[in-house]
Amino acid sequence: MAIGFFVTGTDTGIGKTVVSCALLHAFAAQGHTVIGMKPVAAGRENGVWQDVENLKAASNISMPQSLINPYAFVEPVAPHIAAQQTGITIDPEVIRQACEQLQAAAEVTIVEGVGGFRVPLSLAGIPDCRYDTGDLASVLGLPVILAVGMRLGCLNHALLTARAIESTGLKLAGWVANVIDPAMLQLEINLQTLAEWLDCPLLGVLPFQEQLDVRQLAGLIDLSRLG
């Protein structure tokens, strides 16, 4: 039976892709076929969307780019702004259908969100048609894994994001601590605080790496805690 998870984060640039790739490698190490998905990507560098390429590299089956990444924008700006500038509407139904095709092909599908959990996805200036990343997660109906970028301010960001996830009725399946500030003061106490306050299991603590090695980080993910 195919399973899937939606990876969201406490902010942009906190390591959702790192966490998603580590999860893909962790499931693959257990013998599963895995595929990563980035429904919306913004910011092309050297002709590619690096997050998408990283997810593809961490997957062990190949699927069409149009399914892995239905919407890709050149400028590294909020997706609803990029969509408005290019005259494109981000359609959750298109993403849902693409996700279903990926789930039909792989035992595990990891869907990486864009930005934080409440980043707008609909065109600006249309109040009656507003939807955001949280609404997309609800359309997909997948359990959510929260990537927490460990830095000053992460406690508030993590707890607010967890509350936003729970308000949608989605299951918060677990959280992963990603140490993005190697000089963060009182790291262990912050980790303990989040473990006590977040009503879901800690799946792993990913240390800061100068040279990123997601296969190594995958070994620090405890999938058994997902139940």
| pLDDT tens sequence across 54-106 | 999 999 999 999 999 999 999 999 999 999 999 999 999 999 999 999 999 99
The per-residue pLDDT for 128 is 66
Mean per-residue pLDDT of the chain: 95
The per-residue pLDDT for 129 is 75
Residue count of the chain = 227
Proportion of the chain above pLDDT 70, given as a percent: 97
Which residues neighbour 127 within 8 Å (Cβ) at sequence distance 6 or greater? Answer: none
The per-residue pLDDT for 81 is 93
Q: Which of 16, 38, 56, 171 is catalytic?
A: 38
> In the CATH scheme, what is the homologous superfamily, with its name and number, of domain 3-226?
P-loop containing nucleotide triphosphate hydrolases (3.40.50.300)
Distance CA 43, CA 115 (A): 12
Q: How many other CB atoms are there within 10 angstroms of residue 114's CB atom?
A: 24
pLDDT tens column, 115-160: 999 999 987 556 667 899 999 999 999 999 999 999 999 999 999 9
Domain boundaries, the chain: 3-226
Of the candidates 149, 210, 138, 154, the one whose C-alpha atom is nearest the C-alpha of residue 176 is 149
The tokens for 103 are 């789930």
The CB-side HSE value for 89 (13 A sphere, CA atoms) comes to 9
Confidence check: pLDDT of 212 > 70:
yes
The tokens for 165 are 């996830």
Could you tell me how far CA 134 lies from the centroid of its own chain? 12
The per-residue pLDDT for 227 is 73
The tokens for 51 are 């997050």
Question: What does the DSSP assignment read for 58-76?
Answer: H-SS---HHHH-SEEESSS
Q: What is the pTM of this model?
A: 0.96
User: Active site includes 38?
Assistant: yes
